[in-house]
Structure 1
Amino acid sequence: MEQRPNFITPAGYAALKAEYDQLFGDERPKLVEVISWAAGNGDRSENGDYIYGRKRLREIDRRLGWLARRMKAAQIVDPARQQDRSRVWFGATVTIVDEEDRERVLTLTGDDEADAGSGRVGWNAPIARALRGAAVGDLRRVMLPAGEKEYEVTAITYPDAA
């Protein structure tokens, strides 16, 4: 199976790393201490601290494994360094208008940092795939769960280099 690249912005990678460091360096050691204390209290079968602690530890370890795999596969792309700013590529903030003249502003980000509620759309989302390579004035059709829609690209911006 071919693995798609896991593009991510520097800020998105920093957020993944911060979550990993917080879980691994802070939350997990405290939980191990609680589990150790609870195990020393005798019967583990009815010990809520022990049972909950073990369950939570499994959740943390699973999340740490997922974060480690995502960070290892990550390809950090800084949108501020985009050479072709006239087209929609990774990290672009795009203003689109649909057939009913409703305007939307989307930023194409890594799949791990997507948040549709705040306008950040994952690079592999259907609307992001449809917009890739588009220039201002281009019309793009996208198949959404509600049906096919056509959007016109009205503006493309990229963050400035720091």
Structure 2
Amino acid sequence: MTALDRAASILSAFAALIAGTMLVAMVGHTILEMVLRAFFNTSTFVLDEFVGYEVAALTMLGLGHALNTGGLIRVNLLTRLLGTTAQRRVELAVVILVFALCLYLSRYHLLAIEAAYARGTRSNTLAQTPLWLPLAVFVAGLVIFMIQLLAYALRLLGGGNPIRDNHESA
């Protein structure tokens, strides 16, 4: 395992830990909202906004770890029929394509972050959340995923086997 592979795995696992913590916070906030509404006839008034941000963050921060551990949904009906070398080549081509798409997506999100920050754009809610914050978490997750993709591509180029999903036999 190369240094980049180890670093990508650690970074992805850390991001997944943050995502898990956010999930716990989301459940806690939902329970708080239920108690406030049921017993005190009030609300935090930001549950739906924050849960929306957290779902996006959970998704993006968990991508790298899901890729690395075989947790991403994979369609491998055709690649299963190929030999190991052909599987590796197809997998590498897909990783390069996904990396390019992520690079394209991150470029436009970085421009959106810059614009939201420069303009001081805030959500149109009671919380008035600066919109560059959820966008930044989205991009952070995307960058971590791209680092994991790069490490995986280098692993494949070095002769490593493609990642198997959690439900696939070797």
Question: Which one has a larger percent strand, Structure 1 or Structure 2?
Answer: 1
Which band: TM-score by shorter chain? Answer: 0.3 to 0.5
Alignment TM-score, normalising by the size of structure 1? 0.42
Higher Cα Rg: structure 1 or 2?
Answer: 1
**Of the two structures, which has the highest relative contact order with CA contacts closer than 8 Å and spacing of 6 or more?**
2
Alignment TM-score, normalising by the size of structure 2? 0.40
Question: Which one has a larger percent helix, Structure 1 or Structure 2?
Answer: 2
